[in-house]
Amino acid sequence: MAEACGVRRIKLGSQGLEVSAQGLGCMGLSAFYGTPKPETEAIALIHHAIHSGVTFLDTSDIYGPETNELLLSKALKDGVREKVELATKYGIRYAEGKVEFKGDPAYVRAACEASLMRVDVACIDLYYQHRIDTRVPIEITLIHEEPLSGEMILSSPLEFFIGELKKLVEEGKIKYIGLSEASASTIRRAHAVHPITALQIEWSLWSRDVEEDIIPTCRELGIGIVAYSPLGRGFFASGPKLVENLDNNDVRKTLPRFQQENLDHNKILFEKVSAMSEKKGCTPAQLALAWVHHQGDDVCPIPGTTKIENLNQNIGALSVKLTPEEMSELESLAQPGFVKGERSISILTTFKNSETPPLSSWKAA
């Protein structure tokens, strides 16, 4: 097993944000992955991560909802805030028992100010749109003209607009703007009106479809890449037996890739990665995570965990060195399309259908 080493720093994107080369996805400490850990244990894990050099913390207002941000507020007391790069998100909310995506400027401001209050900080380092609102032009999410007439069609030159997110930056409430699960065209449109610092996207040995056009687009524009679920939602840590140990309220039990008809096929990948990791003297999870790290210094994976032991193992992945031949071998084992089943449930809109209407078609509410 690779030992934990020092966590290097990287530049994320081209606007000046610097983060630890590996972050901590905090979602599972509060939501979706079974019964949350006791608060004291969760805070202890966050503090251990920071002390170990993992200072890039990722949360969202929908985790809980809201309870994960409240957990972070308690973890970041007594001088801890100054040691971390805090990322949170807006754009998903529960309304009347349904999930909806929102990207209108008024909602963006309200969501940002609510997150600031919950986490009890003066500024958010990186603020993502969590999912794309396909009803609202991406330009309107980032920018809008004031005042807006209910009948007004927005077709003026973009330089005449005042950006809501831009205003939040100018007010010192956020430092950098990010997107999550956006299509290549949406990324381009957004970046054209305001620099996007980072894109958060699922990227791992079993989720490689972003490599076709999403990753190249980010690199062309100088946008950093934050890889969530780099361990395949725990698959590369435990393999097929992961499903047997999940709580009944763990959302992974509903994911297509963990259904038996797909799992029987997907376990082939785990077995091959395990065999290779044994030769390397590391765990399958460390090998899978090292593959993400070797994608480049513009990539920051944010594996989540509820156990300090697993956190230490994840940090150890930074010391696993892969040759070009080993990278090729891994990629031949995990070719795009090899894994069976969709990576998420259909209700969670992904980059594949995140197109938004053209700016010229927008009418203010």
Burial 74-106 (b: 16+ CB within 10 A, else e): ebbeeebbeebbbbbbbbbbeeeeeeebbbbbe
Rounded CA separation 106/88 (Å): 18
Helix orientation angle between 284-293 and 324-333, rounded to the nearest 10 degrees: 110
DSSP string covering 204-257, please? BTTB-GGGTTHHHHHHHHT-EEEEESTTTTTHHHHTTHHHHT--TTBGGGGSGG
**Residue 316 buriedness (CB in 10 A; 0-12 / 13-18 / 19+):** buried
Closest to 76 (Cα-Cα) out of 54, 52, 50, 53:
50
Contact 319, 2 (CB under 8 A): yes
List C-alpha distances in Å: 115 to 29, 64, 353: 18, 13, 27
Q: Is 176 a catalytic residue?
A: no
Contact 331, 288 (CB under 8 A): no
Catalytic-role residue among 33, 63, 127, 228: 63
Task: Write out the catalytic residue numbers.
Answer: 63
